[in-house]
Each structure stands twice: as structure tokens, then as C-alpha cells.
């Protein structure tokens, strides 16, 4: 049965439409109608063994098509992407056949958008940690992709009625902010590291182009800010290591940091790619490390994740050690960081 796969294309289309991406929604609806098993990629899509939504299956395909359109190798597809002209179902049916071998490898791994707009939520979370424990901290990001958000201390922010971060930065984030203004605090990052199963080195032009391909093409603001963040990362490459957080996180947590530094573990829209067992393992690792934390060597866990599958908003959550052991919900956040409702109380 392929009905659930075609339904996933329609469901993702609705998500895109609700996020202000009507062209991508149109593309997804058409794809759900024209895909068949006559090509290798079509057969792989229609026989997908996992959950097509959880596995971001539809966005693997749209990433491939966007990359092809950006390359200019298929004139009709490029014309649709740039001018929204042409018979889309006819174009897609032909492209899926003509470029089958080119498209197929894109289905092997989920999208890595590395959405820098999420830094607009993560940064006030970092400032809250700094207000509690002091400005000096070291960061470990799980699911860092290209590590663009490891440079978030080099971004500028307008968060409601306050400004924060680097106001001279070429990248300024201004989400639609609701709720009270966050407290502004200095953040000094003494060390940073990203962990990813497939870290992306944006100094490689081909990899940078792949990262851009995963962004929905009719969201011009996202495209521009990602290009800016890539350029910043090319000048100041964030340190990344290839590996599984299940293997690497525990030894990093066991390593004692210098006194006066807060160790911060953070991630954004990453745990949805973990199994339930893996998510529980991350929690257990954090709690074990938290039990060893001291006022001189505190630990913080900052996460921006969906709490239920299909939820329209992610939750920014924070847990700190030593502390009460309570997880605070700081904000409800659009998955691209475009809108944010700050609900945290005073520190």
C-alpha cells in the first residue's frame, strides 16, 4: 500500500503552506500525485519502510529537486523554481524519470537545514543560563549539522523590546516576539564543539550548496540568512566531530570542565531523529552528569524540540544542575524561529 506515502506528501504540503511556503506546498502536492514505481527513486519512496513524516522523506526529495533547479541543469525545472512557470505535474514526471540516478542518493539521509533562525530562541536561553551561573560557558551541540548555530554568539538579536548579541554582525535575527522581554546578559563562550553523524564542512562549495538546497526556495529570508551564516562559518569554522552522540556524549560529560565555566549541552529539532530509547539514554546521561555538577562547575541542558509528533510549535526547555531538577519551559517557538512566545518567569 502506498496511500500513507502519498498522504505524507499532502501532510507536508499543509505544513509548508502554514509556514508561508505556498510554492513548496504546490510542489509536494504534485509530487504525491505523479510519483510511481517505474523509477528507482519512485520505487524507494513508495516502499519506504519507516515513518515518512518522522524520517522527513518528502523533504529529502524536495532537497534533491531544489539542488537540481539551482544547478541549472534542467531548464524547465529551473524556470518553475525561479518564475513559477510551466506545467508542474508534467515537468516533475519527466524530471523524476530523466534524473532518477541523480535523485536517488538524496533519499539516503534526512535533510540538514541547520536553521539559524532557531538561534533567536536558543540565544535568550543562553542568556538565562548566564544570568543563573555567570557568563563563561562551553558548548556542546548535538546534531550540529554544519555547526552554523555554534556561531550564534556572533549574531545580533532584536528580541521584543531588547537588543542583544553582536549588533555589528552581518546576521541580525528579529523574530516576531510575543510575551515578556528576556533578561539580557553577557555570554562568553570559552569552548565549543558540535557532534553530528554527518557533519557538513561548508568550506566545500558543493556541501554549502547542498545545505542551501534543503531550504524551501520561496522562503527568501531563510535563504539569505543561511547564506550569510555560511559565509560567517567559512571565516570562523565551528569545530565539528563526526560520530554518534550515543557514543560521544557520555565521555564528554565525564570530562571535568574548568572552574567557573558552565557546560551547556544544546540541540534544536534534532531528537526527532533519535529513537525513543536513544532519547531516554540522552536524558539518563544528562541526569548522571547533573548529579556530579557543582556550583563551581554547573551543567545546563537547553533544548528546542517538538514534544509531540506533528505539533506546530517546538518548545524551548532548560534544565540546570545543581538545581531543583525541574525542567523549565521557556518559550513556544516556530520551527524556523520566525515566531516566539516567551513564557519564562524571572530567574
DSSP 153: G
pLDDT tens, 121-180? Answer: 999 999 999 999 999 999 999 999 999 999 999 999 999 999 999 999 999 999 999 999
| Cβ-based neighbour number of residue 288 at 10 Å | 12
Give the domain extent around 46.
3-108
* Predicted pLDDT of residue 1: 59
**Beta bridge partner(s), residue 139:** 192, 264
79 confidence band (pLDDT: 50, 70, 90): very high
Do 167 and 82 lie in a common domain?
no
By CB atoms closer than 10 A (0-12, 13-18, 19+), residue 38 is: exposed
Q: Is the pLDDT of residue 13 over 70?
A: yes
Do 42 and 172 lie in a common domain?
no
Q: How far apart are CA 8 and CA 54, in angstroms?
A: 10
**Containing H/E element for 57?**
helix 57-71
Do 103 and 251 lie in a common domain?
no
**Cβ–Cβ < 8 Å for 35, 45:** yes
- Max Cα distance, the chain (Å): 64
Structurally, the chain folds into a number of domains equal to 2
203 falls within a domain: yes
* Predicted pLDDT of residue 311: 83
Last residue of a domain, which of 67, 85, 108?
A: 108
For residues 315-331, average pLDDT: 94
Q: How far apart are CA 240 and CA 140, in angstroms?
A: 10
Q: How far apart are CA 275 and CA 196, in angstroms?
A: 16
Do 189 and 229 lie in a common domain?
yes
Angle between helices 205-213 and 220-235 (to 10 degrees): 150
SS3 call for 94: helix
For residues 70-88, average pLDDT: 94
Do 24 and 166 lie in a common domain?
no
Do 191 and 213 lie in a common domain?
yes
Q: Is the pLDDT of residue 306 over 90?
A: yes
**Cβ–Cβ < 8 Å for 28, 9:** yes
**Containing H/E element for 51?**
none
Where do we find the cell 523524476?
96
For residues 282-304, average pLDDT: 97
DSSP code string of 167-220 = TT-S-EE--EEEESPPPP---EEEEEEEEESS---TTSHHHHHHHHHTS-TT-H
**Beta bridge partner(s), residue 141:** 194, 266
Last residue of a domain, which of 57, 79, 108?
A: 108
140 falls within a domain: yes
Last residue of a domain, which of 73, 92, 108?
A: 108
Do 202 and 232 lie in a common domain?
yes
Please report, for the domain that includes residue 128, its CATH number: 3.40.50
pLDDT tens, 255-267? Answer: 999 999 999 999 9
Mean pLDDT of the chain: 95
Do 61 and 127 lie in a common domain?
no
Residues belonging to the chain: 347
347 falls within a domain: no
**Cβ–Cβ < 8 Å for 139, 173:** no
CA dihedral over 141, 144, 146, 149, signed as positive or negative: negative
Do 330 and 187 lie in a common domain?
yes
Do 86 and 187 lie in a common domain?
no
284 falls within a domain: yes
Do 190 and 302 lie in a common domain?
yes
Do 337 and 192 lie in a common domain?
yes
Q: Is the pLDDT of residue 325 over 90?
A: no
Percentage of residues in the chain having pLDDT higher than 90: 88
pLDDT tens, 187-244? Answer: 999 999 999 999 999 999 999 999 999 999 999 999 999 999 999 999 999 999 999 9
191 falls within a domain: yes
Grid cell locating 341:
512566545
**Closest Cα partner for 66 from 174, 217, 205?**
217
Amino acid at each position: 500500500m502506498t496511500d500513507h506515502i502519498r498522504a505524507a506528501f499532502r501532510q507536508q504540503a499543509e505544513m509548508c503552506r502554514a509556514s508561508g511556503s505556498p510554492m513548496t506546498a504546490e510542489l509536494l502536492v504534485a509530487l504525491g500525485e505523479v510519483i510511481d514505481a517505474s523509477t528507482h527513486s519512485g520505487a524507494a519512496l513508495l516502499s519506504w519502510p519507516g515513518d515518512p513524516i518522522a524520517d522527513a522523506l518528502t523533504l529529502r526529495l524536495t532537497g534533491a529537486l531544489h539542488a537540481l533547479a539551482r544547478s541549472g541543469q534542467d531548464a524547465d525545472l529551473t524556470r518553475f523554481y525561479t518564475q513559477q512557470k510551466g506545467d508542474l505535474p508534467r515537468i516533475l514526471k519527466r524530471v523524476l524519470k530523466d534524473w532518477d540516478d541523480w535523485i536517488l542518493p538524496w533519499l539516503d539521509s534526512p535533510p540538514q537545514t541547520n536553521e539559524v533562525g532557531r538561534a533567536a530562541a536558543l540565544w535568550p536561553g543562553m542568556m538565562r543560563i548566564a544570568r543563573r551561573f555567570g557568563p563563561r560557558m562551553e558548548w556542546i551541540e548535538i546534531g550540529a549539522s554544519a555547526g552554523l548555530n555554534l556561531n550564534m554568539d556572533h549574531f545580533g538579536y532584536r528580541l521584543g523590546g531588547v537588543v542583544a548579541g553582536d549588533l555589528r554582525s552581518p546576521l541580525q535575527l528579529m523574530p516576531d516576539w510575543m510575551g515578556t522581554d528576556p533578561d539580557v546578559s553577557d555570554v562568553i563562550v570559552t569552548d565549543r564543539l558540535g557532534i553530528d553523524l554527518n557533519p557538513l564542512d561548508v568550506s566545500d562549495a558543493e556541501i554549502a550548496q547542498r545545505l542551501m538546497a534543503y531550504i524551501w526556495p520561496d522562503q527568501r529570508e531563510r535563504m539569505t540568512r543561511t547564506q550569510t551564516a555560511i559565509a560567517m562559518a567559512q571565516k570562523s569554522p565551528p569545530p565539528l566531530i563526526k560520530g554518534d552522540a550515543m557514543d560521544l556524549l557520555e565521555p564528554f560529560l565525564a570530562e571535568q570542565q574548568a572552574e567557573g565555566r558552565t557546560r551547556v549541552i544544546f540541540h534544536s529539532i534534532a531528537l526527532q531523529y533519535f529513537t525513543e530509547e536513544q532519547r531516554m539514554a540522552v536524558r539518563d546521561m544528562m541526569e548522571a552528569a547533573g548529579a556530579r555538577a557543582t556550583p563551581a562547575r554547573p551543567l545546563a541542558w537547553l533544548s528546542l524540540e517538538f514534544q509531540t509528533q506533528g505539533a506546530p510549535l517546538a518548545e524551548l526547555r532548560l534544565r540546570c544542575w545543581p538545581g531543583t531538577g525541574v525542567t523549565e519551559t521557556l518559550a513556544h517557538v516556530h520551527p524556523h524561529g520566525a515566531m516566539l512566545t516567551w513564557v519564562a518567569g524571572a530567574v
